[in-house]
Amino acid sequence: MNGITYSPQDLQDKSRLPIGVFDSGVGGLTIVKEIMDFLPQESVIYLGDTARVPYGTKSQPTVLKFTTQAIEFFNTRGIKMLLIACNTSSSLALPYLKDGFDFPVYGVIDPGVSEALNVTRIGRIGVIGTRATISSRIYEMRLKQQREEVEVFSYPCPLFVPLIEEGWIDDPVTYKVAKRYLDNFKRHGIDTLILGCTHYPLIKNVIRQVIGKHVALVDSARTLVREIKNKLKILNLENRGGSLRYEFYVSDEPEQFKKLGSFFLGREIKSVKRVELEEYKGCMK
């Protein structure tokens, strides 16, 4: 996994700290749900930058600024590990982040790459994501670094994020947009499709219906959380007795997030707090 070097300090206390999850909006809740199901003993602090979503239309310097502001927010909250759920942040910001945090930082790109290479039968892999993620070609580069002969076909799907943020999960408009985007892959004969944005698993049923059941859908959220379980064990950071809590923060529209988040997680989010991320200075080199 792509991450920042971590030097454990005072592991006994750190093991009781929550895992931080950061996303540009509600999409990172796909990772929170995996943590709740697969690591039920772990607490979570979630931050969604709902005031500035989507990140996929922003420039690299802007994404880097927003991401580093988020990391500074987590610095003030006390976490033992940060998962950057946003593919755009993982591709445009994570490689440039400064070392020296009190916690390791991991993105979603490498887990998705590994899973795609594991499941593809014919080596023809599709990738969908925001314009920024697709333009970075990070998935193509990482896939070919591990298996040079693989063929990669990538297309941006910029309307998916706003549709999901609006809650149009099973709406006819979403189906029409998905068909318009995903028809691009028909001539390529792919057998695997990377959902290169953590929002996209929320419309997995729509994507599967349009792309066909013969195409394996790769959800990096699930793969990431399973890798994180191993990381927690290696670093001796598993929570074995601390109290369990879930905290949710957004930069705008907390009530809308609470409504959508409760629906996506299948359990009530009782409280969502609003934060001003512009108050946090970036930690760029």
Q: Print pLDDT tens along the chain (285 aa).
A: 444 443 444 444 789 999 999 999 999 999 999 999 999 999 999 999 999 988 988 999 999 999 999 999 999 998 999 999 998 999 999 888 866 678 999 999 999 999 999 999 999 999 999 998 999 999 999 999 999 999 999 999 999 999 998 889 999 999 999 999 999 998 999 999 999 998 899 999 999 999 999 999 999 888 899 999 999 999 999 998 767 999 999 999 999 999 999 988 999 999 999 999 998 875 444
Distances (CA, A) of 75 to 18, 98, 101, 110, 229: 12, 13, 8, 24, 22
Q: Which two tokens stand for residue 223?
A: 């793969």
147 with 214, same domain?
yes
pLDDT of amino acid 96: 84
pLDDT of amino acid 262: 93
Task: Give the type of residue at 71.
Answer: I
40 with 102, same domain?
yes
- Given the residues 86, 97, 105, 182, select the one marked as catalytic: 86
19 with 99, same domain?
yes
113 with 243, same domain?
no
Please report whether residue 4 resides in a domain: no
Domain boundary among 182, 200, 220: 220
pLDDT of amino acid 241: 78
pLDDT of amino acid 4: 46
- DSSP one-letter code for 157: -
91 with 117, same domain?
no
CATH number, residue 169: 3.40.50.1860
- Given the residues 36, 143, 163, 197, select the one marked as catalytic: 197
Q: Which two tokens stand for residue 54?
A: 């989507």
Name the residue range of residue 81's domain.
11-108+222-279
pLDDT of amino acid 204: 94
- DSSP one-letter code for 284: B
Q: Which two tokens stand for residue 107?
A: 């993105």
d(CA 230, CA 228): 5
Q: What share of the chain is helix, strand, coil (3-state, %, to 5)?
A: 45, 15, 40
Please report whether residue 266 resides in a domain: yes
> Exposed/middle/buried for 281, CB within 10 Å: 0-12, 13-18, 19+?
exposed
* Cα 74–chain centre separation: 16
Catalytic site includes residue 197: yes
Please report whether residue 285 resides in a domain: no
119 with 207, same domain?
yes
Secondary structure class of 99 (helix, strand, coil)? coil
Catalytic site includes residue 157: no
Query: pTM for this one?
Result: 0.86
99 with 229, same domain?
yes
Cis previous bond, 54, omega within 30: yes
pLDDT of amino acid 98: 62
Cα maximum dimension of the chain: 55
235 with 189, same domain?
no
pLDDT of amino acid 135: 93
Please give the tally of structural domains in the chain.
2
**How crowded is residue 233: how many other Cβ atoms within 10 Å of its Cβ?**
10
- DSSP one-letter code for 203: G
